């Protein structure tokens, strides 16, 4: 089967005229991929699924395929480290363009040609366990050829208890305790934000008779309605944009709205407005600390709007969790987090544009469930779950980290 699929890719790639250069080669593939016989398309899908099966068996979180950067190899990220997979076939740039194209429909191909990037989800049945495994995928152009990243989505959510939040922090994120307000989960790409967000949704789904609307690009973990009714709306497939999804959600009788990412000023403003109407909202940002998250939201909007947004954010923000995945002493990774709970003092600091004072409030806020990244790294180091070097390396404030390490 592998050789058959490889030959299909090779034969199709040889059909691309030498006169087609740059992105026109990708366009040629897109315009002719539907001419492939059904059995050939099925062989390519089976090839991709066999590669993903190998990824699952090796506990890889990500796969890289295609583009000039891969040097014709498949790459896996395993426990944070990305490397070539030398026991898999090599594919030329044109062959991977054909393989990636076979995973997309016509609408997705048109979007990719227009925007040069496409987020989508992919599901296949893993035969060894007969379970459906989902992937978050992003395909894009790399020197005029197609590249693909796919990230495995866990088949189950982690219990919120395993994330080791202070009970009061969990209470502040709970819809039962507080019916409205904005809670953020932040961190760099690959820091486990989606996993934490899914744990929070699953936590509510176990006991809260609420209506949850998830707007994401793409939808990753699919929640089965239990106590909650959970709706999944994928941007580009079920709704055209995050902003439209948020606005439309208001007419869908939601209790909890989950916005996959506050990635632009329009989505930020929509999130603040929908929270202001009395809904519980969860979302993510690509920031590495709680203070940076507050500053980023304000800085993203037009300067003439910033004062109004600062006051509105202070009124609706409930909590911020900023997290990182740290290499652990057992060769895997462990989550370190910074937790901000918005108290009256924090709210005043945001309104008065004194966000530099917030770090000190977090340092002293352990009774309210707060913890700085440095304090949590110290906790993990004292439990011998991470090394001293990684505690320093992954800290946001290295001077402070060295001080508290010296004091213990």
The model's pLDDT over 379-405, given as tens digits with 9 standing for 90+, comes to 999 999 999 999 999 999 999 999 999
The model's pLDDT over 215-230, given as tens digits with 9 standing for 90+, comes to 998 888 999 999 999 9
Show Cβ contacts of residue 124 under 8 Å, excluding neighbours closer than 6 positions: 48, 49, 52, 132, 133
Of 95, 130, 152, the last residue of a domain is 152
Taking the C-alpha atoms of residue 376 and residue 184, their distance in angstroms, rounded to an integer, is: 18
- Whether 177 and 261 map to the same domain: the answer is yes
Residue 158, pLDDT > 80, answer: yes
- Whether 235 and 366 map to the same domain: the answer is yes
Domain containing residue 24: CATH number: 3.30.450.90
pTM (predicted TM-score): 0.81
> In the numeric block, which tokens belong to residue 167?
């009970």
pLDDT band at residue 58 using 50, 70 and 90 as cut-offs: very high
Residue 328, pLDDT > 80, answer: yes
- Whether 88 and 231 map to the same domain: the answer is no
pLDDT band at residue 127 using 50, 70 and 90 as cut-offs: confident
Q: Locate tokens 């904005």: which residue?
A: 182
What is the pLDDT at residue 372? 97
pLDDT band at residue 56 using 50, 70 and 90 as cut-offs: very high
Taking the C-alpha atoms of residue 191 and residue 179, their distance in angstroms, rounded to an integer, is: 28
- Whether 193 and 83 map to the same domain: the answer is no
* Of residues 88, 95, 128, the one with CA closest to residue 16: 95
What is the pLDDT at residue 79? 87
- Whether 103 and 185 map to the same domain: the answer is no
Which parts of 86-166 fold into alpha helices (H)?
93-101, 106-115
What is the pLDDT at residue 8? 95
Domain containing residue 238: CATH number: 3.40.50.300
Residues in a beta bridge with 297: none
The tally of domains found in the chain comes to: 2
- For residues 13 and 98, the answer to whether their CB atoms sit within 8 Å is yes
- Whether 80 and 164 map to the same domain: the answer is no
Residue 72, pLDDT > 90, answer: yes
Residue 190, pLDDT > 90, answer: no
- Whether 188 and 108 map to the same domain: the answer is no
- For residues 121 and 135, the answer to whether their CB atoms sit within 8 Å is yes
pLDDT band at residue 43 using 50, 70 and 90 as cut-offs: very high
What is the pLDDT at residue 236? 81
Give the chain's mean pLDDT: 94
**Across 171-180, average pLDDT:** 95
- Whether 142 and 223 map to the same domain: the answer is no
> In the numeric block, which tokens belong to residue 343?
């108290």
Structural domain of residue 241, as residue ranges?
160-407
What is the pLDDT at residue 268? 94
Cα dihedral across residues 199, 168, 181, 320: positive or negative: negative
Of 131, 152, 173, the last residue of a domain is 152
Residue 131, pLDDT > 90, answer: no
- Whether 118 and 172 map to the same domain: the answer is no
- Whether 184 and 324 map to the same domain: the answer is yes
Percent of the chain with pLDDT over 90: 88
- Whether 209 and 259 map to the same domain: the answer is yes
- Whether 173 and 145 map to the same domain: the answer is no
What is the pLDDT at residue 260? 93
What is the pLDDT at residue 323? 97
Of 110, 130, 152, the last residue of a domain is 152
Residue 1, pLDDT > 80, answer: no
């Amino acid at each position: 089967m592998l050789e058959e699929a490889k030959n299909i890719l090779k034969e199709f790639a040889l059909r691309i005229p030498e006169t087609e250069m740059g992105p026109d080669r990708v366009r040629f593939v897109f315009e002719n991929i539907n001419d492939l016989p059904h059995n050939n398309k099925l062989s390519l899908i089976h090839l991709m699924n066999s590669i993903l099966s190998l990824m699952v068996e090796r506990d890889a979180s990500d796969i890289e395929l295609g583009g000039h950067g891969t040097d014709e190899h498949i790459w896996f990220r395993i426990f944070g480290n990305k490397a070539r997979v030398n026991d898999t076939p090599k594919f030329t740039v044109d062959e991977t363009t054909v393989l990636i194209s076979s995973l997309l429909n016509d609408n997705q191909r048109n979007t990719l040609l227009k925007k040069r990037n496409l987020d989508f989800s992919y599901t296949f049945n893993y035969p060894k366990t007969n379970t459906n495994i989902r992937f978050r995928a992003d395909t894009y152009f790399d020197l005029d050829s197609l590249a693909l990243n796919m990230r495995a989505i866990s088949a189950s959510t982690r219990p919120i208890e395993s994330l080791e939040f202070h009970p009061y922090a969990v209470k502040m994120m709970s819809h039962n305790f507080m019916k409205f307000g904005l809670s953020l989960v932040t961190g760099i790409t690959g820091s486990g934000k989606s996993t934490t967000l899914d744990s929070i949704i699953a936590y509510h789904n176990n006991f809260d008779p609420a209506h949850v609307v998830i707007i994401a690009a793409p939808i990753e973990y699919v929640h089965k309605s239990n106590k909650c009714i959970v709706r999944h709306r994928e941007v580009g497939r079920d709704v055209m944009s995050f902003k439209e999804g948020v606005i439309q959600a208001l007419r869908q009788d939601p209790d909890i709205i989950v916005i996959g990412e506050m990635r632009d000023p329009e989505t930020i403003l929509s999130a603040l407005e929908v929270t202001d109407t009395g809904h519980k909202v969860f979302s993510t940002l690509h920031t590495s600390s709680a203070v940076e998250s507050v500053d980023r939201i304000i800085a993203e909007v037009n300067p003439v709007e910033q004062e109004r947004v600062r006051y509105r954010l202070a009124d609706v923000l409930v909590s911020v969790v900023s997290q990182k995945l740290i290499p652990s002493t057992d060769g895997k990774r462990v989550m370190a987090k910074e937790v901000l709970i918005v108290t009256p003092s924090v709210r005043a600091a945001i309104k008065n544009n004194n966000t530099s004072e917030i770090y000190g409030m977090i340092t002293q806020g352990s009774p309210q469930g707060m913890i700085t990244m440095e304090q949590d790294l110290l906790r993990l180091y004292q439990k011998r779950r991470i090394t001293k070097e990684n505690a320093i390396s992954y800290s946001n404030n290295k001077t402070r980290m060295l001080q508290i390490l010296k004091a213990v």
